[in-house]
Structure formats: structure tokens, C-alpha cells
A = this chain, B = another copy of it.
Amino acid sequence: MSISDEQKQEIAELRAETQATRRAVVPELEEILYEPIPVLDHGFVRVIDYMGDDSAVVQAARVSYGKGTKAVREDRGLIRYLLRHRHTTPFEMCEIKYHVKLPVFVARQWIRHRTANVNEYSARYSILDREFYIPSAENLAAQSLSNRQGRGDVLQGAEAEEALSILKQDAASCYDHYEHLLNEGPDGEPRDPARQGLARELARMNLPLNIYTQWYWKADLHNLLHFLSLRADPHAQYEIRVYAEAMLETVRRWVPLTYEAFTDYVEGSLHLSKGALAVVRKLLAGEPVEQGSSGLSPREWRELMDSLGREG
């Protein structure tokens, strides 16, 4: 994570100041407010602001005049009921805002989630920093042979070294050329007075997809959980999954009851199709059942047996 001393100072100043508010406050989240949580080699996630807490979910579900809380135990039961029965709107009543630094190819996956508010650092207007994502050795994976959008073994030896070297050199060389094309010194003056410099909005096209960008990203709790259920999933690409995991941890601090319910009903859960449910019922009844006659495809059958902890 690369944060300048000036930025550290700005963050420290924000953290040092507190004010009184009548709003719901979550001390466990305030503890890490504004602090960058490192992700990947240069990225981070910072919680910038939040609105509401577990009680706000209850308060909205009840359309209440006061806090909406009677007792923690009741709140917990209601939150679990709402999540289990897909009554999602009360979770939209909490909101959180992050500042995220992330590689462009990760940003391109992330932005497909449309129910969020985004302000991205503009490379039309500003100059991007010389920061690129270079995978660590254990994340330099080969193409999976069985899954067209997955990873296989980690690259070894000379192949790994060469891959890292290519990624580093191309990034460095493209960035050198980017700076050359811009022809703009740190003082804003031309490096070479004989050249005009290419427009920022054009020069950026020479940068590779592993360059870091940053944005402010804000979402309500329901849409955040939906994002996390897809992106903290083992099928998600590692490089976005680590962001989702860091954010899940902020959710645990922010709304512990909702986090617990999410863990039970979404994250560790299993969806049974009509056919899979029929198989489970037969198994429980002690009836014989096999893939061929189950109506499930071989792949679905294998996934089901894995999930049930059985050999297929």
C-alpha cells in the first residue's frame, strides 16, 4: 500500500476530530474509520462514512417512531427472519461509503454492480500514479484445464520468473511512455519545451490494465451484501475476492447481527434445485437414486454430492 506522508497526515487529522451527533453511532466501526485496510500490493479499502446500524434495519421494518429496538434478542430474530425470507428493503436503509484503490481490471468487474454510487479518479483530468498490480508468487496461477474461467496450479520456476518479469517490464515501459507522451513535469511545466504533449485523455490509453485507479464507492447494505455474496464467493477472481473479504470484515464491525445472519443464510448456504431436492428426499427415505435417473446433469450431480459431503 502506498500512501504518502501528506495523505497519512490528512487521514490522521480526520481521525483526531470527533463531534457530537444524535444519529446512530457504531463504535466498532468508528475505530477503523478513514484507516486504509491494505489489499493486494498497492490497494486498499477505507470506510469513509456510514449511516445506520442493525437497529436501523429493525426501525425501518417496523416504520417506528423511536429506535426500533426493544431487546437485542428480538432484533436478532427479526433480522434473521427478514434475511431468510428475502424481505430485503429494510437492509437498504443502511448505507456505507468506501474509498478504494484497485487495479483497473478489477474495477472493470466491480463496476458491473450498478446499484451503487461511484466517483472515480479521472485520467482525463489528472495523471495516474506509477503503481501497478504485480501478483505475488503464490497468486501467479496457470489457466485451469477444467474451467475456462478459473485458475489451475501456481506457475513455478523459470515460467513464473519470466511472467513476473514481463508484467513488470511492460508496466514500467508503458508508464515511461505515458509520461513521455504527456510531457508534463511535476511543476506542471513541459519537460521538453519543444513538444506540446499529448492530451491526458489520449495518453492514458497507453497504460496497461493492471495500473491502479481509485474511487469512492457507496452502497446500501442490501446491495452491498449482494455484491459480497458474488464477489467473496470462491468462484470470484482472487484479485476482487480479497477486496470483498476486507469489506466483509467491515460489515462484521458495522452490523454484527446482519453479518451473522448473512453468514448463515447466504454465505454458507446451499441452493437445491427442484431435482436436487427430490434426490435429497429420496436419499433421506433410503431409496436408491443415481445420477442417470435423477434428471440432474453429471456436473450438477457431482456438485450436489460434494455439497452434501458424499461420494458421488
Contact = CB atoms under 8 A, between A and B. Distances in A.
A63 to B, nearest CB: 4
B271 A199 contact: no
A283 interface: yes
A273 B84 contact: yes
A185 to B, nearest CB: 13
A194 to B, nearest CB: 8
A59 B105 CA distance: 24
Given A144-B199, A152-B199, A208-B207, A21 B25 contact: yes
Contacts of A107: 108
Contact of A10 (B66, B269, B310): B66
User: Which of A65, A218, A263, A264 is most buried by chain B, counting CB atoms within 10 A of its CB?
Assistant: A65
A95 to B, nearest CB: 5
A63 B121 contact: yes
Given A93-B218, A237-B201, A269-B272, A49 B24 contact: yes
B140 A202 contact: yes
Nearest to A56: B49
A72 to B, nearest CB: 16
A78 interface: no
Given A7-B65, A17-B22, A117-B220, 19 more contacts: A10-B64, A14-B22, A21-B30, A50-B51, A80-B297, A93-B216, A95-B218, A104-B108, A124-B149, A125-B149, A140-B198, A141-B199, A151-B199, A170-B173, A170-B206, A174-B174, A207-B208, A265-B271, A284-B308
24 contacts: A19-B25, A20-B25, A23-B33, A50-B51, A63-B120, A63-B216, A111-B111, A112-B118, A124-B149, A125-B148, A141-B202, A142-B196, A142-B197, A142-B198, A143-B184, A143-B198, A143-B200, A152-B199, A155-B198, A170-B177, A204-B209, A267-B274, A269-B271, A269-B272
